[in-house]
Amino acid sequence: MNSRHCVLFGDSRKMDDVEENSVDLVVTSPPYPMIEMWDELFSSFSSKIAASVKNKEGAQAFELMHKELDQVWRELNRVVKPSGFVCINIGDATRKMGQDFQLYSNHSRITHAMVKLGFQPLPVILWQKSTNSPNKFMGSGMLPAGAYVTLEHEYILIFRKGGKREFSCAQQKQNRNESAMFWEERNTWYSDTWRLKGVRQNTGKDNLRQRNAAFLFELPHRLINMYSVKGDTVFDPFLGTGTTLCAAIVSERNAIGMECDENFADLITENIHTCAMLSSETINTRLETHKAFILSRLEAGRQIKHHNLFYDFPVVTRQETQIRFHPVLQITCENLSHISVEYSTDIKKLPVIKPQVKNTDPQLLLF
């Protein structure tokens, strides 16, 4: 088993090197309009943006920045396959430009652009980030009528290009079954609120410190497992440090990434080389978490009817009976445009662990 990956250094407002109808899933996070750390980048795209930021014309700057992103969404409409998904992580911005403080609703502007292109909007996920700062309030503090609520969440916007995907032949159905998630994972992942902690902020490379904004591995990993199957092609047009690519490697998907800043090359390479370990850790965590879930369910006296064929452990539904994970065996990365990943066919077995409480239920002996 193999997967293939490619990083294209270039501007994703033009995706000439990405074929039409070649992408099953997009997972990405663009630079956020009206967030100061991205002003310089947006200003480099157009002198009108630079002028409106300089002159503190907020509404104009907001619209012009989105017009640049619109070009990327338009290209996605070309490269995404019919029935493919697009997941966009975006935060709104609050900012005082000139005299007035206001919200710049990036998520609604992007939704509007995607719907205009013909993508179907699906229910969104609110990513709640924990904020530790006690001084997070904005505005007039304890005095009414002049304070603003803080932004403590970002959005994961989800779109589909056309109708439901069909899995028609036996091979496609088998692959879909092997790509399934556990029942308890489904219950958490398909909730509309994700509480995931912190984001790696520093890259350790001074020139990239301000332009990193990597998202944590868990985020693309969940989305890839929710909206694609093994062997699919995942695309991130704003690749940054390569988190989406790593999540695709671990999830046995192919990936393409685009990034305009070539200074990210070393970081992406470093991250790719952690994927063998990341794959083994991720599989272990999923299996261990499943084991803990099953134990607690059996200890609570619940029956579990089904059995996974490959791991010989109980699962709640028939749809989980063929789940299997292949750990990364070897990564060959001659250069970032040709990365090949080989997977082991020797799937990991659960360690034998006995439940802590007394229970004579024969199902528990399976552990």
Ligand X SMILES: C[S@@+](CC[C@H](N)C(=O)[O-])C[C@H]1O[C@@H](n2cnc3c(N)ncnc32)[C@H](O)[C@@H]1O
Spatial contact of 247 and 224, defined as CB atoms under 8 Å apart:
yes
- Going from the C-alpha of 82 to that of each of 24, 45, 67, 102, 335, the distances in angstroms are 8, 30, 24, 38, 31
**Segment lying near ligand X (by CB under 6 A), choices 24-32, 117-125, 144-152, 182-190:** 24-32
Which CB atom, from 53 or from 214, has the smaller least distance to ligand X? 214
Q: CB of residue 89 vs ligand X: minimum separation in angstroms?
A: 7
Which CB atom, from 15 or from 316, has the smaller least distance to ligand X? 15
> Helix, strand, coil: what percent of the chain each, to 5?
35, 25, 40
**One-character DSSP codes across 15-81:** -TTS-TT-EEEEEE-PPPTT-GGGHHHHHHH-HHHHHHHHTT-HHHHHHHHHHHHHHHHHHHHHHEE
41 burial (CB, 10 Å; 0-12 / 13-18 / 19+) is middle
Take residue 155 and report the two structure tokens written for it: 């959005």
Q: CB of residue 110 vs ligand X: minimum separation in angstroms?
A: 13
- Is 271 a binder of ligand X (CB under 6 A)? no
**Segment lying near ligand X (by CB under 6 A), choices 102-110, 252-260, 285-293, 322-330:** 252-260
Number of residues that bind ligand X (CB under 6 A): 19
**Segment lying near ligand X (by CB under 6 A), choices 256-264, 293-301, 327-335, 358-366:** 256-264
Which CB atom, from 228 or from 308, has the smaller least distance to ligand X? 228
Binds ligand X (CB under 6 A): choice among 23, 26, 29, 222: 29
Phi, psi of 196 (to 5 degrees): -120, 135
- Is 43 a binder of ligand X (CB under 6 A)? no
Take residue 194 and report the two structure tokens written for it: 């994700």
- Is 238 a binder of ligand X (CB under 6 A)? yes
**Segment lying near ligand X (by CB under 6 A), choices 110-118, 186-194, 238-246, 274-282:** 238-246
Q: CB of residue 87 vs ligand X: minimum separation in angstroms?
A: 11
- Is 255 a binder of ligand X (CB under 6 A)? no
- Helical segments of 155-213, H only: 170-178, 183-189
- Is 235 a binder of ligand X (CB under 6 A)? no
**Segment lying near ligand X (by CB under 6 A), choices 143-151, 168-176, 209-217, 274-282:** 209-217
Which CB atom, from 221 or from 326, has the smaller least distance to ligand X? 221
In the DSSP assignment, the letter for residue 288 is H
What number of other Cβ atoms are within 10 A of residue 13's Cβ? 17
323 half-sphere exposure, CB direction, 13 A CA radius:
27
Spatial contact of 364 and 355, defined as CB atoms under 8 Å apart:
yes
Binds ligand X (CB under 6 A): choice among 259, 287, 316, 364: 259
**Segment lying near ligand X (by CB under 6 A), choices 6-14, 56-64, 111-119, 277-285:** 6-14
- Is 248 a binder of ligand X (CB under 6 A)? no
| Residues in touch with ligand X (CB under 6 A) | 11-13, 29-31, 41, 211, 213-215, 238, 240-241, 243, 258-261
